[in-house]
Structure 1
Amino acid sequence: MSHEKLVRMANQIATFFESQPDADKAGRVAEHLKEFWEPRMLEQLADHLSSGEDGLSPLATEGSKRVLGLTA
């Protein structure tokens, strides 16, 4: 899958959770990625993050980092 498609999908997930009343929106993004994305997609996301996070919204970036264990 292309990085552009992964970024678009991660941003769509973040946009959805941005509109929810939950206090930990990044945590909800991380939970969704963990539950619904297959390991290959998460590996590609990790590669994208390591190359500069281009195109990811701040919430998508934080949620992605959490699911990949890159933040506390």
Structure 2
Amino acid sequence: MSSQNLIKMANEIARYFATEPDQALAVNGIRQHIKSFWTPGMRRDLGAWQEKHPDAVLHPLVLAALKEPEGAT
């Protein structure tokens, strides 16, 4: 899957979870969704892309989900 498709999907997930008033719950929801529904390769590709393009177009909630260790609140 292309990086552009992964970015689009991740940002769509973030827009859905952005309606959650508690940012920690939103970040955890994004992280859990990606863990549950994305393949390990998709997760690796998005993380690798983000490391190469730290100032790129990922939604801030996605960036937080990628940065925070699982279970952090």
The number of equivalent residue pairs is 70
For 1:46, give the aligned amino acid: G
Query: In structure 2, how many angstroms separate the alpha carbons of the residues matched to 1:23 and 1:40?
Result: 27
* 1:41 alignment partner, SS class: helix
Q: Does 1:63 align with 2:73?
A: no
Counterpart position of 2:37: 36
Please tell me the root mean square deviation across aligned C-alpha atoms, in Å.
2.2
Percent of aligned pairs with the same amino acid: 31
For 1:41, give the aligned amino acid: M
Query: In structure 2, how many angstroms separate the alpha carbons of the residues matched to 1:23 and 1:61?
Result: 12
Please state how far the C-alpha of 1:22 moved relative to its aligned partner: 4.4
Please state how far the C-alpha of 1:23 moved relative to its aligned partner: 4.6
TM-score relative to the length of structure 1: 0.81
Counterpart position of 2:15: 15
Counterpart position of 1:3: 3
Gaps of 5+ in 2: none
Q: Stretches of 4+ moved more than 6 A in 1?
A: none
TM-score relative to the length of structure 2: 0.80
For 2:18, give the aligned amino acid: E
